[in-house]
């Protein structure tokens, strides 16, 4: 294994790859199965663990949404198989209202925290940070391992909550008190809520341990020559995501602890003057609105914790497959920074109709709409990146393009909701459901899929089947629009979200057919995800083998490692970096790896292009 | 049986799709193709452009199909009209951005797809271009912010002095509505007085309470400002009147309020909508438990004469000492069974 990656050239030689197949045999003592795959401290294995657990949660969370979509589409039908699957939650094949809300709550909790935070940021921050900055592993591999296992603990506690007698938390993923604080208010607010709070507490520890590692690794462990402004946009995105997480998640932890106090030892942080179940409660002087401030102080940055990694992945995949530099690299970095800062001062736009002081409301309108500026810059820069490119429409590239389309569609409706006057009629209607599912849910999923398809060869040494990938992409893109586009119409007709059925109201009951239409497409899109899951596991073992180190002809460091890199990533020395990561189609070269020193004629070229 | 058949068909479809996909992959390996080929790029880009075109047509068609439900056919309150105007201006701006960016995105995919002899152009940044598309959104958004905040202050300003006051208290899962009587003033409430008999905790020692009444419908007079004082007894609720563009949370322990001016009577709306059964409805818009979806309360906008007639019919809730006839609704506390609740709303008998 004498090959030194430092000398890797811009045009990779396809034959070399085969030499590296045994790279993982080198450098380390023999590890047994448990050390290597279960309690692994290798960031790449931990990344895969996050990914696979995240996928398991995605299937569960997605399935939950199908169950409640059945109720919304056919409120008067019974589905015997629901009773088979859900037992007393769906007695006689009819979903019970309490468990409808439990499913909605769990769907939100699982997708936001377990899938799009742990599964997305956990996977790709872990996988790409050391590989792309040129480090052998995270700053603290042990803490990194703990981060994953706290996620497992959190998952176990949440799973247990699904099986308790009174059912899991059912007051929405936002867990607003008093509904979620009082067992008298809803069955799910009993032990189910204590478990929910405990699970979220464990999850926050997981995020903190991971985040500290990501930030430390990016700051301290970059290889020689890897200055901040030579980092790929993926790393910038993960870096700021980790910072947002470290600053905002602890606030949710505080809120969760105070809520546990209110529930179990009689404090009054979040409640006052409550008469329920025929009795006056002793809570006095607390404010339910305070909880909302604390919750959204995390809750809003959380949507950027979800979307920034997707933006980073998409920027990288677009550049590689357009064979062009990302347009406006520095503008992209500063727009991430701008979003990061603004994400902390927009939280109260979730609270325009809580009785917030109108002046405070107007300040939050200003900052909220301001955040559209960096977002717009990013969209224009992505579109300019593909302009005059040489677009290779791989599965990863298709999902990246889908991301941009969805981010535009969902981002624009944010301009309505962020403006407090328009929020009055639209707040808590299906318009909001459509908005955040498209801009945060779907877009983040598309970014994640772009990342999975693109880096799968690096993760497993094989390609995902591209025909199945195409099927997955087109059904998901078309189906997603079919699910969420019509929800705008329902929202514009005033239909509120979180309704078990609509027949009681003459003003909300015109959408029976639309609800059926949405549910049918939800089932189709879910089926397409099963195709993906199958492809994921099948290709791991039987997929087309990767035969060169750098199958996408990319410039970044992860493609200078062997096809199946062992713990430590580079068998020889860590490569040195000489340039930024976006030299595609420059000066007659297809691409120039970051490890290639700048030549004299290139300097001439640079001068001519400025 | 049908279940098994459906499952079999699904499995079969999956199997066929998989075999076809696997065959394509193996064929590609045999031919020595990369992950993309000229023909796969062409196919994919054509599907994407078709998606754009068909999608835009479908969007237009579906918009027209649901046009009559759009903003509930117009606002029935004065401030709602300015919200709707703002909505339209925001929509015009967003629609332009939406169409331009989506068309560019999908068109570029087709136009710049990789193929034999096609090369990418090295173009890493352009300060002028970037300044342009930073400044333009900034200006547009500044306009929207100014427009929005101006509208917001118009809506949230202090209620006019002559505004009639109505108190609405939400609980699982109905609304308790209280009007002041002849004196125009609501009697005081004290949380500690809340009980099964005195659902609102009204202080009967306060004489202002003696003419208060609790109707089973909300009535408003057209063209007269009305101020709703909102609260909740147990959990969060939200006072939501879609046609009037009104939404405000009801929070236990913290009073909130919303005032507005209804402009279209129920009768006029029935003619406008050509629906003799039309009624305005109050709904809950903040998840409040298992029957959250079932908190309907009828709302009526009267002409001056209708309103006076209705007022004259109302009986105070105050029962002098010795009366056993407490309001029937007051015993209804705690989670209501859906069947019970679907007959809905508080029926205050006197």
pLDDT in tens, A433-489: 999 999 999 999 999 999 999 999 999 999 999 999 999 999 999 999 999 999 999
Distances (CA, A) of B213 to A281, B240, B310, B314, B350: 27, 22, 12, 7, 10
pLDDT digits (tens, 9 = 90+) for A214-234: 999 999 999 999 999 999 999
Segment B310-320, tens digit of pLDDT: 999 999 999 87
Average pLDDT over all residues of chain A = 92
Whose structure tokens read 């302009």? A387
Would you say residue B344 has pLDDT above 50?
A: no
For residue B40, pLDDT beyond 70: yes
The answer to whether B89 contacts chain A (CB < 8 Å) is no
By residue count, chain A amounts to 610
Q: Which of A177, A61, A56 is nearest to A109 (CA)?
A: A61
CB of B2 within 8 Å of a chain A CB? The answer is no
- Mutate which of A95, A315, A507, A584 to test chain B, going by most B C-beta atoms within 10 A? A507
Look at residue B256 and tell me whether its pLDDT is greater than 90: yes
- pLDDT (mean) for A42-68: 97
Cβ neighbours, 10 Å, residue A266: 10
pLDDT tens readout for residues A312-326: 999 999 999 999 999
Which member of A372, A498, A504 has the closest CB to residue B287? A498
A289 lies within 8 A of chain B by CB: yes
Which residues in chain B touch residue A327, judged by CB atoms under 8 angstroms apart?
123-126
pLDDT for residue B168: 98
Output the pLDDT for position A603. 84
A-chain residues within 8 Å CB-CB of B87?
A: 416, 422
**pLDDT score of A245:** 96
Residue of B25, B98, B256 with shortest CB distance to A465: B25
pLDDT of residue A34: 81
Positive or negative torsion for Cα B155, B159, B164, B167? positive
Q: Which of A313-327, A366-380, A559-573, B12-26 has the lowest mean pLDDT?
A: B12-26
Dihedral of CA A71/A75/A77/A78: which sign?
positive
Residue from the list B134, B201, B279 with its beta carbon closest to the beta carbon of A377: B134
Q: What is the pLDDT of residues A399-442, one digit of tens each?
A: 999 999 999 999 999 999 999 999 999 999 999 999 999 999 99
B86 touching A, CB under 8 A?
yes
Mean of the pLDDT values across residues A492-500? 96
pLDDT given for residue A2 in this prediction: 38
Element counts in chain B: helices (H) and strands (E): 7, 9
Phi then psi for residue A508, to 5 deg, are -110, 0
Which residues 244-273 of chain A have a CB within 8 Å of chain B?
Answer: 271-273
Name the residue among A365, A408, A485 with its Cβ closest to that of B148: A365
Contacts of A401 in chain B (CB under 8 A): 48, 105, 109
Of B144, B283, B289, the CB nearest to A505: B283
CB contact under 8 A, A408 and B105: yes
Sheet holding B237-241, edge to edge: B218-221, B297-302, B280-284, B237-241, B246-250
pLDDT (0 to 100) of residue B27 = 86
Mean pLDDT of B50-60: 96
- Of the pLDDT bands very low, low, confident and very high (cuts 50, 70, 90), residue A600 is confident
The answer to whether A369 faces chain B, any CB pair under 8 Å, is yes
Task: Say how many C-beta atoms besides its own lie within 10 A of residue A540's C-beta.
Answer: 15
How confident is the model over A560-577, as pLDDT tens digits? Answer: 999 999 989 999 999 999
**Whether B123 and A467 lie within 8 Å, measured CB to CB:** no
Query: Nearest 5 degrees, angle CA B97-CA A399-CA B92?
Result: 10
pLDDT at res. B270: 96
Predicted confidence (pLDDT) at residue A549 exceeds the cutoff of 70: yes
Task: Give which of B31, B145, B259, B266 to mutate to test A binding, by max A Cβ within 10 Å.
Answer: B145
* Residue A221 to residue A239: CA distance in whole angstroms: 13
Check residue A610 and give its pLDDT.
63
Contacts of B346 (CB under 8 A, 6+ apart): B174, B175, B176, B177, B214, B216, B297, B329, B332
Chain B residues near residue A182 by CB distance under 8 angstroms: 234-235
Long-range Cβ contact pairs of A78-84 (< 8 A, separation 24 or more): A81/B3
* DSSP H stretches of helix in A116-224: 123-133, 141-163, 191-220
Tell me what pLDDT residue B7 has: 87
8 Å CB contact of B94 and A416: yes
Determine the pLDDT at residue A308. Answer: 97
Residues of B in contact with A170 (CB under 8 A): 290
Nearest to A355 among B62, B106, B254 (CB): B254
* Residues of chain A numbered 522-551 and touching chain B (CB < 8 Å): 527, 530-531, 534, 544, 551
| Min Cα separation B156/chain A (Å) | 6
- What's the rounded mean pLDDT across residues B80-107? 96
* Cβ contacts of B317-322, under 8 Å, gap ≥ 24: B317/B178, B317/B202, B317/B212, B317/B213, B317/B214, B317/B348, B317/B350, B318/B204, B318/B209, B318/B210, B318/B211, B318/B212
Backbone angles phi, psi at B280, to 5 degrees: -70, 150
Cβ contact B36–A387 (<8 Å): no
- Give the residues across from A279 on adjacent strands: A276
A residues 174-233 lying closer than 8 A (beta carbon) to B: 176, 178-179, 182, 184-186
> How many CA atoms lie within 13 Å of B226's alpha carbon, on the beta-carbon side?
25
pLDDT-derived band of residue B33, with 50, 70 and 90 as boundaries?
A: confident
Indicate the range of A185-199, A365-379, B322-336 predicted with least confidence.
B322-336
- A369 chain-B contacts, CB cut-off 8 A: 141, 144-145, 148
Residues of A in contact with B245 (CB under 8 A): 424-425
B283 three-state secondary structure? strand
Is the CB of B309 inside 8 Å of chain A's CB atoms? no
Residues B190-218: tens digit of each pLDDT: 999 999 989 999 999 999 999 999 999 99
* Residue percentage of chain A with pLDDT more than 90: 89
**Subunit contact A392:B48, Cβ cutoff 8 A:** no
User: What's the pLDDT at B321?
Assistant: 66
Instruction: Please report the pLDDT score of residue B70 as a whole number.
Output: 87
| Chain A partners within 8 Å of B251 (Cβ) | 288-289, 354-355
pLDDT of residue A289: 96
- pLDDT category of residue A37 using cuts at 50, 70 and 90: confident
Q: So what's the pLDDT on residue B322?
A: 55
Q: Is the bond preceding B289 in cis, omega lying within 30 degrees of 0?
A: no
CB of B14 within 8 Å of any CB in chain A? yes
Percent of chain B scoring above 70 in pLDDT: 91
| CB-CB under 8 Å, A582 with B124 | yes
pLDDT value at position B24? 86
What is the pLDDT averaged over residues A175-197? 96
**Contact state of B124 with A184 under an 8 Å Cβ cutoff:** no
Is the pLDDT reported for residue B176 higher than 90? yes
Tens of pLDDT along A72-117?
999 999 999 999 999 899 999 999 999 999 999 999 999 999 999 9
Residues of B within 8 A of A530 (CB-CB) are 14
ipTM for the complex shown: 0.91
Q: Does A492 touch chain B (CB under 8 A)?
A: yes
B306 by Cβ neighbours in 10 Å (0-12 / 13-18 / 19+) ranks as middle
Whole-angstrom distance, CA of residue B281 vs CA of residue B218 = 9
Q: Is the pLDDT of residue A512 over 90?
A: yes
Who contacts B323 (Cβ-Cβ below 8 Å, separation ≥6)? none
Residue B236 contacts A, CB cutoff 8 Å? yes
CB pairs < 8 Å spanning A and B: 370
- pLDDT-based confidence at residue A6 (cuts at 50, 70, 90): very low
The DSSP 8-state label assigned to residue B189 in this structure reads B
Q: Closest Cα of chain A to B40: distance in Å?
A: 8
Structure tokens that stand for A292 in this block: 């909302």
């Amino acid at each position: 294994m004498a090959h030194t990656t430092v000398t890797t050239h811009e045009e990779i030689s396809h034959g070399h790859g085969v030499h590296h197949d045994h790279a993982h045999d080198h450098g380390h003592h023999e590890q047994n199965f448990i050390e290597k795959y279960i309690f692994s401290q290798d960031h790449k294995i931990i990344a895969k663990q996050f990914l696979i657990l995240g996928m398991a949660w995605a299937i569960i969370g997605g399935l939950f949404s199908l169950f409640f979509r059945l109720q919304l589409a056919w409120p008067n039908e019974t589905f015997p198989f629901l009773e088979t699957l859900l037992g007393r939650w769906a007695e006689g094949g009819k979903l019970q209202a309490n468990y409808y809300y439990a499913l909605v709550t769990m769907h939100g909790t699982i997708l936001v925290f377990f899938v799009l935070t742990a599964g997305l940021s956990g996977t790709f921050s872990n996988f790409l940070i050391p590989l792309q900055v040129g480090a052998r592993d995270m700053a603290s591999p042990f803490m990194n391992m703990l981060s994953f296992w706290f996620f497992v603990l959190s998952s176990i506690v949440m799973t247990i909550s699904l099986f308790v007698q009174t059912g899991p938390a059912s007051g929405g993923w936002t867990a607003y008190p008093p509904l979620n604080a009082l067992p008298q208010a809803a069955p799910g607010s009993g032990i189910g809520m204590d478990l929910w709070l405990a699970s979220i507490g464990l999850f926050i520890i997981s995020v903190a341990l991971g985040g500290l590692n990501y930030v430390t690794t990016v700051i301290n462990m970059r290889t020689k020559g890897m200055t901040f402004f030579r980092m790929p946009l993926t790393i910038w995105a993960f870096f700021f995501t980790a910072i947002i997480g470290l600053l905002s998640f602890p606030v949710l932890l505080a809120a969760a602890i105070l809520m546990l106090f209110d529930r179990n030892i009689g404090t009054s942080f979040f409640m006052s003057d409550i008469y329920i179940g025929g009795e006056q409660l002793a809570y006095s002087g607390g404010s339910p609105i305070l909880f909302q401030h604390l919750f959204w102080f995390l809750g809003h940055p959380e949507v950027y914790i979800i979307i920034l990694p997707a933006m980073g992945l998409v920027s990288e995949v677009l550049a590689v497959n357009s064979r062009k530099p990302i347009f406006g690299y520095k503008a992209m970095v500063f727009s991430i920074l701008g979003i990061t800062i603004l994400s902390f001062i927009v939280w109260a736009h979730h609270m325009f109709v809580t009785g917030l002081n109108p002046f405070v409301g107007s300040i939050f309108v200003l900052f909220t709409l301001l955040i559209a500026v960096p977002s717009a810059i990013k969209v224009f820069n992505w579109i300019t990146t593909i302009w005059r490119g040489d677009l290779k429409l791989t599965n990863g590239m298709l999902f990246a393009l889908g991301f941009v389309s969805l981010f535009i569609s969902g981002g624009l409706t944010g301009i309505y909701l962020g403006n407090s006057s328009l929020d009055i009629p639209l707040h808590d209607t299906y318009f909001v459901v459509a908005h955040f599912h498209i801009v945060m849910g779907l877009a983040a999923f598309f970014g994640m899929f772009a990342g999975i398809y693109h880096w799968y060869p690096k993760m497993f040494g094989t390609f995902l089947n591209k025909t199945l990938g195409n099927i997955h992409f087109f059904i998901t893109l078309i189906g997603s629009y079919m699910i969420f586009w019509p929800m705008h119409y329902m929202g514009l007709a005033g239909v509120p979200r979180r309704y078990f059925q609509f027949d009681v109201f003459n003003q909300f009951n015109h959408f029976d057919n639309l609800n059926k239409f949405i549910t049918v497409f939800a089932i189709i899109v879910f089926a397409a995800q099963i195709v993906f899951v199958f492809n994921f596991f099948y290709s791991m073992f039987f997929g087309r083998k990767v035969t060169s180190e750098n199958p996408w002809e990319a410039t970044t460091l992860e493609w200078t490692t062997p096809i199946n890199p062992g713990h430590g990533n580079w068998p020889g020395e860590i490569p040195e970096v000489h340039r930024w990561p976006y030299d595609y189609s420059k000066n007659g070269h297809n691409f120039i790896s970051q490890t290639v020193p700048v030549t004299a004629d290139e300097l001439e070229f640079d001068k001519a292009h400025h | 049986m049908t279940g098994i058949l459906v499952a079999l068909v699904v499995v079969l479809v999956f199997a066929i799709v998989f075999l076809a996909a696997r065959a394509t992959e193996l064929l590609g390996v045999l031919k020595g193709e990369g992950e993309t080929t000229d023909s796969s790029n062409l196919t994919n880009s054509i599907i994407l452009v078709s998606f754009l075109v068909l999608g835009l047509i479908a969007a237009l068609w579906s918009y027209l199909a649901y046009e009559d439900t759009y903003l509930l056919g117009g606002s029935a309150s004065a401030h709602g009209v300015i919200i709707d105007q703002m909505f339209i201006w925001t929509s015009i701006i967003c629609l332009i951005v939406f169409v331009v960016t989506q068309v560019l995105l999908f068109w570029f995919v087709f136009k710049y797809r990789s193929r034999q002899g096609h090369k990418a152009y090295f173009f890493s940044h352009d300060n002028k271009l970037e300044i342009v598309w930073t400044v333009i959104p900034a200006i547009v958004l500044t306009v929207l912010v100014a427009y929005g905040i101006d509208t917001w202050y118009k809506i949230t300003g202090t209620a006019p002095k002559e505004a009639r006051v109505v108190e609405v208290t939400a609980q699982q899962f109905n609304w308790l509505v209280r009007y002041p009587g002849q004196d125009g003033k609501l009697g005081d409430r004290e949380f500690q007085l809340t009980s099964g008999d005195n659902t609102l905790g009204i202080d009967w020692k306060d004489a202002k309470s003696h003419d208060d009444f609790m109707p089973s419908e909300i009535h408003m007079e057209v063209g007269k400002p009305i101020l709703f004082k909102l609260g909740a007894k147990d959990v969060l609720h939200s006072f939501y009147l879609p046609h009037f563009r009104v939404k405000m949370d009801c929070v236990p322990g913290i009073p909130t309020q919303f005032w507005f001016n209804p402009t279209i009577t129920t009768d006029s709306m029935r003619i406008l909508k050509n629906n003799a059964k039309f009624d305005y409805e109050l709904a809950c818009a903040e998840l409040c438990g298992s029957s959250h979806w079932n908190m309907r309360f009828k709302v009526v906008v009267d002409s001056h004469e209708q309103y006076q007639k209705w007022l004259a019919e109302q009986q105070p809730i105050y029962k002098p000492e010795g009366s056993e006839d407490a309001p029937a609704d007051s015993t209804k506390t705690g989670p209501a069974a859906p069947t019970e609740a679907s007959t809905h709303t508080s029926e205050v008998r006197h």
